[in-house]
Amino acid sequence: MQAGTLFLHARRAGSAAVPPVLALLAACVLFSLFLLVQGISPSAVFGNIYDGAFGSWFSWQNSMQRAAPIMLTALCVAITAKLGLIVIGAEGALVLGGLGAALAGLALQGWLPPLGAQVGLLLAGAVVGGLWIALAGALRHYRGVNETISTLLLTYIAIAVLNHLVEGPLRDPASLNNPSTFPLDWNVMIGEIPGTTIHWGFGFAVVACIVCWVLVNRTTFGFAARMIGGNPQAAKLSGIPVGRVLLLACGLGGAAAGLAGAVEVAAVHGAANSSLAVGYGFTGILVAFIARQNALAIIAVAILLGGLEASSGVVQRRMDLPDATLVVFQGIAFLCVLASEAIQGRLRMPQLLRPREAV
């Protein structure tokens, strides 16, 4: 019985993985065509991507480091997607979460022990990010504003707020080229996982993914969220407080993205500045869709995409290709994944892979 269920789970996971894998392969083919047109050897480019991403322990660590914020922003997309929402504004929650974390860190350092300040700044980042996406959730629930559009626009507002503050009232006069807030003390910075150069943010992100998976699949809250996502009418019929669950889920998703910002500030930049808005939030959308909103799959996909981002420097240097080349690849991959979602159920899957039909 136990082995049977396990087999069933494995088979289900396997068949769920088929469409995105096929989509990624299709994206590789299209990207190769794109390179061939320019007279560039695809095999050389893919070789360099591999070297840059997973060719050595050094590049592995680099990939995992970059995977951390991507995982967290992907969670923001995935949790809200369980309720049938398409939230694309994790970037905004990340940016404001980073700003909130920097301010909390600056306020707390000195009169709290370093560990306390660290906890405080991470919490602050999560709270700010959570409120930001919960705002979009409230607009959706109470005013019927489309959450996809509102989160996109809120992202631009968030970036503008960040730029305004770090170039104005919160600017450290010493930051000349890249206007920033005052830097955090070295001892409140988040360190590395022992024996590696990967910062603890990666650990937080992996834990967050596992927690999120458990939340969605093993708790009554997740059950209610899946009911709402599957059929709001049925959820209302059962008396599920739709608004409350929706706001809570948006808050949790936003908190994950805000935590990503906090980690970027406290483990990488040391201060809040415009380097926070480098597109991790948008890569997170791609990751969540490839992972089909499964929090555990997000871990692996985020490392893959983190690797792609990490390799961009190598590709640029060795092949003398513009930075945007790999952005093109990401774009193609996203289109292929969306297309594969759209044609799902219209194309017949091979008999072996199809779950057994009801009698």
Partner 1 sequence: MSKHPGSAQTVESAPAPKPRAPASGSPATGRACGLEVISLTKRFGDFTAMDQVSMKVRPGSFHALLGENGAGKSTLVKCVVGYQQPDEGSILIADREQQVRSPREASMLGVGMVYQHFTLVPHMTVAENLIMSRIDTPQFINWRQARVELEAFMQRMPFRISLNAPASSLAAGEKQKVEILRQLYLERRFLILDEPTSVLTPNEADEVLGMLKEMCRRGEVTVLMITHKLREVKAFTDSVSVLRAGRYVGGGDTDDLTTEDLAELMVGERQPPAAESRAARGAGRTVLEISGMRARDDEGVPAVRDVSLSVSAGEIVGIVGVSGNGQKELVEVLAGQRHAENTGISVQGQPYRARRSEMIRHGVAILPEEPLRNACVPGMTVADNMAFRVFDRAPYSFMGWLRNGQRRKRAQELIKAFGVRTPGAESPIGKLSGGNVQRAVLARELTGDVRLLIAANPVFGLDFKAVREIHDRLREARDNGTAVLLISEDLDEVLQLSDRILVMYEGRIVYETTRDQAQVRSIGKHMAGDHA
List of residues contacting partner 1 (CB under 8 A)? 8, 218-224, 226-227, 230-231, 233-241, 356-359
Least distance CB 258 / partner 1 (angstroms): 23
- Name the amino acid, one letter, at 128: V
- 10 Å CB burial of residue 195 (0-12, 13-18, 19+) is exposed
Nearer to partner 1, 177 or 238 (CB): 238
What single string gives the DSSP state of each residue in 83-105?
TT-----HHHHHHHHHHHHHHHH
Could you say which DSSP state residue 112 is in?
B
Helix (H, G, I), strand (E, B) or coil at 344: coil
Task: In whole angstroms, give the CA distance from residue 210 to residue 147.
Answer: 26
CA dist list (Å): 64 to 67, 197, 310: 5, 10, 9
Shorter beta-carbon distance to partner 1: residue 196 or 219: 219
Least CB distance from residue 359 to partner 1, whole Å?
Answer: 5
- Contact between 90 and 288 (Cβ < 8 Å): no
Q: Identify the bridge partners of residue 180 per DSSP, sorted by sequence position.
A: 273
For partner 1, the closer CB: 143 or 194:
143
- Minimum CB separation of residue 59 from partner 1 in Å reads 40
Half-sphere exposure (Cβ direction) of 320: Cα atoms closer than 13 Å: 3
What is the end-to-end Cα distance of the chain in Å, rounded? 22
Residue pair 196/209 in contact (Cβ under 8 Å)? The answer is no
Closer Cβ to partner 1, 32 or 217, answer by number: 217
Residue closer to partner 1 by CB (options 278, 296) is: 296
Least distance between partner 1 and beta carbon 141 (Å): 13
- Beta bridge mates, 218: none
Query: Considering beta carbons, is residue 3 or 359 the nearer one to partner 1?
Result: 359
Min separation Cβ 3 and partner 1, Å = 15
Burial of 107 (0-12, 13-18, 19+ CB in 10 A): middle
152 residue type, one letter = L
Report the nearest approach of partner 1 to the CB of residue 167 (Å): 44
As measured in angstroms, the least distance from the Cβ of 244 to partner 1 is 11
Q: Which is nearer to partner 1, 201 or 251 (CB)?
A: 251
Nearer to partner 1 among residue 1 and residue 176 (C-beta) = 1
Q: What's the closest the beta carbon of residue 148 comes to partner 1, in angstroms?
A: 21
Q: Give least dist CB 228 to partner 1, A.
A: 9
Residue type, 15: S
DSSP-assigned letter for residue 239: T
Q: Considering only CA atoms, which of 137, 103, 101, 119 is closest in space to residue 254?
A: 137
Rounded Cα distance between 248 and 223, Å, is 13
Of the two residues 54 and 221, which places its CB atom closer to partner 1 in the complex?
221
